[in-house]
Amino acid sequence: MNDLAPLRLDDDLRVLVLTGAGVSAESGIATFRDSNGLWEQHRVEDVASPEGFARDPALVWRFYSLRREAAAKCAPNPGHAALAALEDRLGDRFLLATQNIDGLHGVAGNTRVVEMHGNLYTTRCSGCDRRPFRDDSLHPDAVPRCDRCGSMLRPHIVWFGERLDPADLQRIEDFIRAARGHRMVFLAAGTSGVVYPAAGLVDVCRRAGAETVLVNLEAPDNVGAFDRVITGRSGEVLPALFV
């Protein structure tokens, strides 16, 4: 049964939030494991993997161009706003780790954000070490090239089989370590709990003594790891969760 009791905010509280595609669903952005994980008959793994990019980079750029175009029309929803308000109240006692690449947490006002899987509007070179750069250009037909070295450009996104940025993981680990000895809540919202290492954060936080809370439309794979499970839409549950 749903336990809708709000979480009490006190001066000792540290909150690590993990969000997934479900949090952006009410903004009109499709979740991953909708449509049986297919995109125009392609498995998502094929358009979001280094092997897929090597095989057909134009297809991958079409996929991400359409997603850039679609996400640009979307705005944060009340779930995003609730997390921005929570950061306002907690300051450095708050960290948001998101698997989403749509940037909507930043638009909503969150600044303490780790974009674990990259950013839809950032591009990098597959050949040289120029810094990843902000880029909202669309490439539905041809693969863009680096104007420094001529190699193919690619979205700055962590695909399957790719390593997450160690600095991002370190930032999350540091937050958890600093929260030891304090009251800590790990709150996951809108994620199916199948993609690692994000799906393992709940266990890491449990071991560090956190209370673990999940807000999701349905019970995901790792539901057993949570102390509290609230099934519902994040845009409706999150605004009522903190007092």
101 binds, among ligand BJW, Zn ion, none (CB under 5 to 8 A by kind): ligand BJW
Q: Is 169 in the site for ligand BJW (CB under 6 A)?
A: no
CB of 168 to ligand BJW, least distance (A): 12
Burial of 167 (0-12, 13-18, 19+ CB in 10 A): exposed
Residue choice 60, 125, 205, 229 for contact with Zn ion (CB under 5 A)? 125
133 binds, among Zn ion, ligand BJW, none (CB under 5 to 8 A by kind): none
* Residue partners of 241: CB distance under 8 A and separation at least 6: 6, 7, 82, 187, 215, 230
Residue choice 194, 203, 209, 240 for contact with ligand BJW (CB under 6 A)? 194
Residue 229, beta-bridge partner list = 214
Q: Is 153 in the site for ligand BJW (CB under 6 A)?
A: no
Helix (H) or strand (E) holding 38: strand 38-39
CA 173 to CA 42: how far, in whole Å? 35
Residue choice 12, 40, 136, 162 for contact with ligand BJW (CB under 6 A)? 162
220 binds, among ligand BJW, Zn ion, none (CB under 5 to 8 A by kind): ligand BJW
Q: Which is nearer to ligand BJW, 200 or 209 (CB)?
A: 200
Instruction: Spell out the long-range contacts of 140-143 with Cβ–Cβ below 8 A and sequence spacing 24 or more.
Output: 140/61, 140/62, 140/65, 140/66, 141/58, 141/62, 142/58, 142/61, 143/57, 143/58, 143/61
Q: Is 157 in the site for ligand BJW (CB under 6 A)?
A: yes
CA 156 to CA 123: how far, in whole Å? 5
CB of 33 to ligand BJW, least distance (A): 4
CA-based torsion, 57, 59, 61, 64: positive or negative:
negative
Q: Is 77 helix (H, G, I), strand (E, B) or coil?
A: coil
Show contacts with Zn ion in window 126-155 (CB under 5 A).
127-128, 146, 148-149, 151
Q: Which of 42, 80, 105, 117 is catalytic?
A: 117
Q: Is 25 in the site for ligand BJW (CB under 6 A)?
A: yes
Residue choice 73, 131, 134, 163 for contact with ligand BJW (CB under 6 A)? 163
Q: Is 190 in the site for ligand BJW (CB under 6 A)?
A: yes
CB of 128 to ligand BJW, least distance (A): 20
220: phi then psi, degrees, rounded to nearest 5: -85, -175
